[in-house]
Amino acid sequence: MTGKTYNPSRRTVIGGLAGTAGLVFAPAVLRAQQMAWIGASATPPSDFIAQSLDFFGKRLGEITKGQIKLTTHHAGSLGGEREHVEGLLQGSVHVASPGQGLLAGWYKPAEVWTHPYLFKDVPHKDRVWDTMRQEYADDIAKTAKLRTLASIPRMPRMLSCNKVVKAPADMKGLKIRVPETALWKRTFELFGASPTPLPFPEVFTALKSKLIDGQENPTALTFNSGIFDVNTHLSLTEHMIQDNCILIADAEYQKLSADLKKAIDQAARDMEAEIRTKVLADDKAILEKVKAKNIVITEVDKAAFSATVKDLVKEFPAGQKWVERIRTIA
Is residue 2 a part of any domain in this protein?
Answer: no
173-182: pLDDT as tens digits? 999 999 888 9
pLDDT of residue 10: 35
Is residue 1 a part of any domain in this protein?
Answer: no
User: 93 falls in which pLDDT band (50, 70, 90)?
Assistant: very high
CATH for 213: 3.40.190.170
Distance CA 171, CA 191 (A): 7
Nearest C-alpha neighbor of 176 from the set 125, 239, 224, 99: 239
User: 310 falls in which pLDDT band (50, 70, 90)?
Assistant: very high
Same structural domain, 137 and 256: yes
Same structural domain, 132 and 260: yes
The more confidently predicted of residues 317 and 224 is: 317
62-83: pLDDT as tens digits? 999 999 999 999 988 999 899 9
Same structural domain, 165 and 142: no
β-sheet bridge partners, residue 35: 68
Q: Helix or strand or coil: residue 203? A: helix
Same structural domain, 136 and 237: no
The more confidently predicted of residues 288 and 22 is: 288
Per-chain mean pLDDT for the chain: 90
User: 22 falls in which pLDDT band (50, 70, 90)?
Assistant: very low
pLDDT above 70 (res 118): yes
Same structural domain, 21 and 130: yes
Domain count for the chain, please give it: 2
Is residue 33 a part of any domain in this protein?
Answer: yes
Same structural domain, 89 and 199: no
pLDDT of residue 33: 60
Same structural domain, 194 and 310: yes
Q: How far is residue 245 from each of residues 56, 146, 202, 210, 268, measured CA to CA in Å?
A: 11, 12, 25, 34, 10
pLDDT of residue 36: 97
Is residue 27 a part of any domain in this protein?
Answer: yes
Same structural domain, 203 and 299: yes
Same structural domain, 183 and 266: no
Is residue 131 a part of any domain in this protein?
Answer: yes
Distance CA 87, CA 40 (A): 10
Same structural domain, 120 and 219: no
Per mean pLDDT, which range of 24-38, 87-101, 249-263, 298-312 is the poorest? Answer: 24-38
pLDDT of residue 253: 98
To the nearest whole percent, how much of the chain has pLDDT over 70?
90
Domain span including residue 294: 157-241+285-327
Same structural domain, 212 and 296: yes
Q: How far is residue 48 from each of residues 82, 174, 268, measured CA to CA in Å?
A: 19, 30, 15
Same structural domain, 319 and 202: yes
Please state the pTM of the whole predicted model.
0.84
Query: Which residues are CB-neighbours of 189 under 8 A, at least 6 positions away?
Result: 195
Cα-only R_g, the chain: 24
pLDDT of residue 199: 83
